[in-house]
Amino acid sequence: MLYTLLAIAIAAITYWLYGRGLYFYLFGDLKTPGFLFLLRNRNQEMLLHKWVEDNKPATKDFYKLWLFDQVAVVAASPDAAKFLLTDRDHVEKAFGKRGPVKAQELFGHNIVSAEGADWRRQKSLYSGAFGQDSYKIYFPIFTEVTKKCMKKFADDAEKGDVDVVQWLSKFTLDVLGLSIFEIDFQSMDGKISEYYEAYRGFLKEGFQAKFLIAPWLTSLPFGPATKYNQCHAKLIELLSSIIEQKRNHKGGKTDILAHLIQASESADQGLTQQELISNVFVLFLAGHDTTSSALSWLVYELSRNQDIQERLYQQIISVAGERDPTYEEVHKMPYLDMVISESMRMHPPVTLIISRKATEEIHYNGVTIPKDHIVGFDINHIHHSPDIWENPESFDPERFSAERKKGMHRFAYLPFSLGPRQCIGNTFSLIEQHIFTIKLLQTFKVLPPQKESAEATRVSFINTPEKAWVTLQPRK
């Protein structure tokens, strides 16, 4: 009897592993850095980039990566990324359809994860919310919150070096709350919301290997699932509360959330309550962490490149002087566009995106991708590939001048992805980054730190530095 049960258990595990791509992982024709790679917690994306470079030409277009519960096929070239991002006949979205059920509830019912007619329906609801009129509504909020951040910087700078990472996480959260949700989180004032702690806790707990490998663990009423489930319940309470406050606040701003709630009242095309919650969650995720990461690295690079910073400062002064810029003036600073673009090339906010799957067996340039395997693209490697960029580790905004951009492969630069499913909030993030940088350089000269380490350490594939110390020297 014991041997029979053991044989059944072995057969079940083998079947499960086969379904997760073990056979392809062991015997498929693509190279892999090994399953132990993801257990490293520092500079993962740069180690992966070096491995891809060292193993060319075998890794020129694709490689495979063990992601705890599945094997992913990852594009490593602009042409391969273009194929995955634009081919609707062989590839579909798989975002939000892995891991614990409660994670799927939040990740799996929004515009990022939707497919086909469902995606077109949700995108139509967003179309009016991400137009120029909406950005003009947000613009004064962006400006005022940025000025508040400069005051916090000034207070902190009097004590010595400033770690901008901690402040920018709070700054982007306050911008998001006031602009999209009409809620003042008061994060920069030191208020730590239990709901925000639940949000951070849910992301931290939900992506642990044990829950990805065995999602059923989250159903247990004890052990490691306890904190996960507590964070999930509090997070659902927060998101539901945000929606209800906005729904009951008649006559408020015509912003993104107002558009979605108004659209949800349509019987045939509107969003369900679950879809509303899922979309608010993804707005929270995309509007906070990624912009905070982009700004942290931008400040870091400005401190290391004084000539570039001075040229940018002179352009800002020539257009807006020392006053707050207007919405129109923000779009009249081409060198600022170039600096932000180069910073996101070197430090993409998300370095690796695995969010699609093959709907049938794919044959591409001599590579076979099995049906139902998840696929994605390595943004960090593409952004640092010497096959694409000259001196890729050098910070050079001139790469994005009008003249040099003419010969650039369209899919060589992917900070917000590309194709039909490009990040719908990319303009929101870029305007926020533009205003912040303008006010930063109007207020301070950004220098390397005097006492703390001048190096910023990458922590994970959500590419936020652990620390980024600078000296902020007031200009007045």
For the stretch 125-147, pLDDT in tens is 776 666 777 788 889 999 999 99
Whether residue 462 has pLDDT greater than 80: no
Whether residue 318 has pLDDT greater than 90: yes
The residue type found at 126 is Y
Q: What is the pLDDT of residue 15?
A: 46
Read off the pLDDT band of 370 (50, 70, 90).
confident
- The upper half-sphere exposure of residue 187, i.e. CA atoms within 13 Å in the direction of its Cβ, equals 22
Q: Average pLDDT for residues 405-415, to the nearest whole number?
A: 91
Angle between the 164-176 and 273-304 helix axes, to the nearest 10 degrees?
140
Q: Would strands 352-358 and 91-93 be described as parallel, antiparallel, or unpaired? A: antiparallel
Q: What is the pLDDT of residue 200?
A: 74
> Which of the following CATH numbers is that of domain 31-474: 3.20.20.370, 1.10.630.10, 2.40.40.20, 2.60.300.12?
1.10.630.10
- pTM of the model as a whole: 0.87
Whether residue 403 has pLDDT greater than 80: yes
pLDDT higher at 118 or 458: 118
DSSP string, 6-56: HHHHHHHHHHHHHHTTHHHHHHSSS----GGGGG--SSHHHHHHHHHHHTT
Structure token digits, residue 397:
């905004």
**Burial category of 130 from C-beta neighbours within 10 Å (exposed 0-12, middle 13-18, buried 19 and up):** middle
Q: What is the pLDDT of residue 136?
A: 85
Whether residue 76 has pLDDT greater than 90: yes
Q: What is the pLDDT of residue 16?
A: 47
Q: Average pLDDT for residues 254-265, to the nearest whole number?
A: 73
Q: What is the pLDDT of residue 39?
A: 54
| Order of strands, sheet of 162-163, starting from the edge strand that comes earlier in the sequence | 162-163, 469-474, 444-447
Residue corresponding to tokens 């400005």: 302
The residue type found at 352 is L
Q: Where are the domains of the chain?
A: 31-474
Q: What is the pLDDT of residue 99?
A: 53
Read off the pLDDT band of 400 (50, 70, 90).
very high
DSSP string, 232-296: HHHHHHHHHHHHHHHHH-TT----HHHHHHHHHT-TTTSPPHHHHHHHHHHHHHHHHHHHHHHHH
Q: Which of 4-18, 189-203, 295-309 has the lowest mean pLDDT?
A: 4-18
Structure token digits, residue 122:
């949700």
Whether residue 198 has pLDDT greater than 80: no
Q: What is the pLDDT of residue 268?
A: 65
Q: Average pLDDT for residues 378-387, to the nearest whole number?
A: 95
* C-alpha dist (Å) from residue 60 to 81, 125, 191, 230, 312: 12, 39, 48, 44, 36
Taking the C-alpha atoms of residue 47 and residue 65, their distance in angstroms, rounded to an integer, is: 13
For the stretch 242-255, pLDDT in tens is 888 878 776 555 66
For the stretch 8-38, pLDDT in tens is 555 554 544 445 455 455 546 778 887 656 5
pLDDT higher at 150 or 243: 150
Q: Which residues contact 229 (CB under 8 A, 6 or more apart)?
A: 102, 218
Q: For all residues of the chain together, what is the average pLDDT?
A: 81
Q: Average pLDDT for residues 149-154, to the nearest whole number?
A: 97
Q: What is the pLDDT of residue 6?
A: 67
Whether residue 223 has pLDDT greater than 80: no
Whether residue 410 has pLDDT greater than 80: yes
Q: What is the pLDDT of residue 4?
A: 64
Whether residue 393 has pLDDT greater than 60: yes
For residue 171, how many other CB atoms are within 10 A of its CB?
Answer: 26
- Report the percentage of the chain scoring pLDDT > 70: 77
Taking the C-alpha atoms of residue 75 and residue 57, their distance in angstroms, rounded to an integer, is: 13
